[in-house]
Amino acid sequence: MRILLYNPDNGVTRNFMPHLWMFLLQSLTPEGHEVVLIDGNAQPMDEEGIARYVREQNIGLVGIGAMTRMIAKAYRMADAVRAVGVKVVMGGPHVTEMADEALGRDGGSRHADAVALGEADETWPRIVEDAVRGTLKDVYAPVDDFGQERKPSLQPYPEIPWDKIKLDQFNLLPRMLHPLLKRVGAGWGTFRIIPVESGRGCPYGCEFCTVTGFFGDSIRFRTNESVVNELLLLKARARDEGGQIAVFFIDDNFAINVKRTKSLLRDIIAANAQVHWVAQISANLLRDEELVDLIAAAGGKWIFIGMESIDPANLADVKKGFNKPGEYAAVLDRLARRNVFAITSFIFGMDNDTPGVAERTLKEIRTWPPGLPIFGLMTPLPATPLYKRLEAAGRLTRPKHWQEFIPFAMAHTPLKMSIDEAHNEVRIAWARSYSPEAIEKAVDSLNHKPLGYRINILIARLCFRGIYFPQMGRFAWLKSIFENRHTIFKLIRQGFGGGLHAAAPSVASQPVAEQQN
């Protein structure tokens, strides 16, 4: 059977990396079937397009995975596939919580023939076999023989054949940057960010988050060896094709067990398996100097930190009191001293937020080393404790907000400001953080570092700007490049002035050096 795994786009932002679930399920598909992957972020497709594809390519089963944010599109695509008589199975965090919605048991129309609840590593092979036999069930739950929920072990972990998978659609380098990047060194034909997981689960249970409910509060890890081998495979691929590969460790808290993280990082270093990587780590775990030393030595370049708020009352409200705003600056300095920078994520519209929260937050951020701040709005995702609390209090203004996804729009009223005020705060935060002046300042603040770091932060800022300001088309990109021309020309002048080759390997250039070893 030919199986299509499809991940919809949200129509607003482009994901910068493919989704791991597709590669994982592809690797877990029983032999004898062919699996095709389409990520709507890289290959945009509409309902007509998917129906045609399924017919022309003789697809026998379509698997669709989606976050809440893309679920409306996912349902429309599923409907189009079912309309041509092909079965659809859906999985992922949204339908796990809203299986009745997907199956049309809540009074709405049916979108999926089957739903895979939770982690599907062990149920997927069964789903495929049932689909072949024509005996698909409505619901597949990860349970043992006694009906008890079973979380798949990550030992063993399937080998994802990164050396063979076609990744053309995920090259992130715009052509217009080629002349500048060529100056950085050979090996810049492609640049891809690949998702890798080293463990699953998070015990913290923050109120707005689905992770503890979905993956559980006990953490399961892959073996160090399996992670190291995956990195070596990716590194070899980048070398063979004269390109760059960076890794996003998608673990929700990569250092949740510090002892184990240190041992993994030591093994990565010992195997010379360093690639540049990003990981999510909560601020409280970054107090450990030795951990940060190892992060830097093992290739860590960007750490995503869910700071959420600079207000301890807000943090306590959402059960994230382990975040201590008083130590944010020290944590970021500790990282920056090792040339590791942070993606700092904030949520506005929390219950203790008042108008002016954006500028108050930005004032703090301006005292930190340059990084990539991102701002979102408090969103009640289905089945989270936050959703339940707001629903019980009658505060949800759009209880089924996912049925009509609007980016950066609240679905409940915060306590101390209006919805419009919250929207305005997010707009201010993005506009002031990603204005050409702010970008120039961030780039200039790294003047004492090698040029590669400055190029890196410029490109990253231009890309991150697109999370809020529509930047999907060529024209939008050209406009953004025009607005930032001073900073871009400054770097080009420095690059062609010879400064670049004198520079030590940097965020941007180091993998080239490593990969040529």
Binding site for ligand B12 (CB under 6 A): 10, 13, 15, 17, 19-21, 24, 63-65, 67-69, 89-94, 116, 119-121, 124, 195, 197, 209-211, 215, 250, 252, 376, 381
Selection from ligand SF4, ligand B12, none that 307 binds (CB < 5 to 8 A by kind) is: none
Alpha helices in 338-450 (DSSP H): 357-365, 385-392, 419-433, 436-444
Dihedral sign, Cα of residue 328, residue 331, residue 337, residue 339:
negative
* Size of interface with ligand SF4, in residues (CB under 6 A): 11
Kindly list the distances between the CA atom of residue 412 and the CA atoms of 120, 170, 356, 400, in Å, as whole numbers in the listed order: 32, 36, 19, 11
Selection from ligand B12, ligand SF4, none that 212 binds (CB < 5 to 8 A by kind) is: ligand SF4
Identify the residue whose tokens are 């949740």: 256
Q: Can residue 96 be called a binding residue for ligand SF4 (CB under 6 A)?
A: no
For ligand SF4, give the closer residue by CB, 195 or 306. Answer: 306
Shortest Å, Cβ 485 to ligand B12: 28
Shortest Å, Cβ 499 to ligand B12: 33
Selection from ligand B12, ligand SF4, none that 69 binds (CB < 5 to 8 A by kind) is: ligand B12
Encoding tokens for residue 497? 């002035």
47: left (phi over 0), alpha (psi -120 to 50) or beta: alpha
459 closest CA partner among 360, 372, 394, 342: 372
For ligand SF4, give the closer residue by CB, 253 or 506. Answer: 253
In the list 123, 198, 224, 282, the residue contacting ligand SF4 (rule: CB under 6 A) is 282
How far is it, in rounded angstroms, from Cα 443 to Cα 62? 45
Query: Binding string to ligand SF4 for residues 200 to 239, with x set by CB under 6 A, is what?
Result: --x-xxx--x-xx---------------------------
Shortest Å, Cβ 480 to ligand B12: 19
CA atoms within 13 A on the CB side of 429: 33
Query: Binding string to ligand SF4 for residues 287 to 326, with x set by CB under 6 A, is what?
Result: -------------------x--------------------
Q: Can residue 335 be called a binding residue for ligand SF4 (CB under 6 A)?
A: no
Identify the residue whose tokens are 């045609």: 52
Shortest Å, Cβ 502 to ligand B12: 35
Shortest Å, Cβ 322 to ligand SF4: 8
506: left (phi over 0), alpha (psi -120 to 50) or beta: beta
How far is it, in rounded angstroms, from Cα 137 to Cα 40? 27
Encoding tokens for residue 447? 């003047």
Instruction: Enumerate binding residues for ligand SF4 (CB under 6 A).
Output: 202, 204-206, 209, 211-212, 252-253, 282, 306
